[in-house]
Chains A and B, each alone.
Chain A
Amino acid sequence: MKEAEVIIIGGGIVGCATAYYLAKKGMTDVIVLEGSSSIGHGASSRNGGGVRQSGRDVRELPVAMCAVEKFWPGLSEELGVDTEYTQEGNLRLGKTPAHMKKLEALAESCQSMGLNVYMVDKEKAHEINPYLSDDVMGASFCPTDGHANPLTTTLGYYQKALSLGVQFYTEAKVASLRKVRGQVEDVILDDGTIFKGKKIVLAAGYHSRAIMNTIGLDVPMQDVIDGCIVTEQEPVMFKQMLGCASADFYGHQTRHGSFVFGAEAGGEAYMDIAPETTNFAHPDTLGATCRGVEGYIPKLAGAKIVRSWTGWCDCTADGVCVLGTVEEAPGLILACGFNGHGFGTAPAVAYMMAQIALGEKPLLDLSALAYERFC
């Protein structure tokens, strides 16, 4: 049996960053358990790298704004790793009057929460990104949005937490939780090893659901597979993050020069995914993504794809994450259900999970994202 003040289940960006912020606050008696062999094996590395506030649900928007204002700007220096954070805006494109209506509604809902996002006409959109197809008739633009490198950021948090004395275990697959006198205290691995913690942070993506089930609770979420394509290195074309009203594609050009684009053909959410499998994609995703991209940036038809990959989204019933303590499970702190857009908010989420674990009042009121909304 091993003991620590805080046990974190999940070695993804939220788990590693929570460990880092705990250690930074002086709490180094922390253990992180990663089920696979690699840190950041799940959605933390398998995402489009968006650091986006615009287009967010109003319950989640304050967390995204907090991440952009307080955490992302100095993160590379803080971690000693190049996160490649690029704050050049998010351009959300429209091709039809219906698209424009949708973009306006999204922008209005974010403006109501104080976010600077506004509509731009065709000319202005093409000025921001001269490579856009003539079909693009306008866009919404949020100048403080951007993108970063999920791979270096996640591993940067890991290395920094490790160097501060946090204990990490990989291939440590959690089988169950156990309450001791009403308090969630024991974390039991599939090989029978028991970890005992005063606070347990559960940040294991979709696996969080099965782990919650072992103490009789459930999080209404599904694992949905999603894919991305990566091109070879290209000359610098544009720096902003792109998205569109119709969800035809999203993506950006990385610091390295390659483009990362994601899109859905439509069938992905209904795929029966073999558990733990990472090396296949829905057969229609690749072609659909290329068509999506070409329809908005015709010049990229001549770019070569070197790689495609898939990942899982832990999608909740109401489209936003589940954060904070759980009334029926004292001692447990939940951070899961990020619905495919948890990377950008992760630094702020993790900081607040560390605050909650230490009994501090979190930076933001998280009650709209509490587990109890499903009860």
Chain B
Amino acid sequence: MIDINAKLKEIGPYIPEEDDDLLVCRCEEVTKGEIRKAIHSGLFTIEELRRFLRCGMGLCQGQTCGLLTRRLIAKELGTSVHEIDVATSRAPMRPVLMDEASRDHKGE
């Protein structure tokens, strides 16, 4: 059981850092500062951060920024990156034309 309010108190408020304008998710242009701020608003999982900020939701589906985002969560929450769940992988792993996907064995 995770007590969100207690955890928020424990980690303290969001404090801006000099490199907060660094792009973490290049596909969707989400910065380090946006991610850090969202963590301090109570979003502690990559699932929630993806939904709120779209980081990892673009063309590469988080293959580049997934680990970076998890590292940010771990750092802000004061834990190890191994404690932070990875994002769920979604098919197709590379962008596929709708026209191609429509011609599966049932549609041919």
Contacts and interface: CB of A to CB of B under 8 A. Distances in A.
A170 B2 CA distance: 5
Nearest to A279: B88
A286 B96 CA distance: 11
A155 interface: yes
Interface string B1-38: 11111001000000000000000000000000000000
A133 interface: no
Contacts of A127: none
Given A290-B101, A306-B61, A307-B57, A162 B95 contact: no
A316 interface: no
What's the interface size class on A, roughly?
Answer: 35 or more
Given A301-B102, A308-B92, A193 B1 contact: yes
Contact of A303 (B1, B52, B98, B107): B98
A370 interface: no
Taking each of A155, A233, A306, which has the highest tally of chain B beta carbons within 10 Å of its own beta carbon?
A306
A304 B5 contact: no
What's the interface size class on B, roughly?
Answer: 35 or more
A246 interface: no
Nearest to B54: A256
A249 to B, nearest CB: 11
A371 to B, nearest CB: 29
A170 B52 contact: no
Contacts of B103: 287
Interface of B: 1-5, 8, 41-45, 47-48, 51-52, 54, 57-59, 61, 85, 88-92, 95-99, 101-104, 106-107
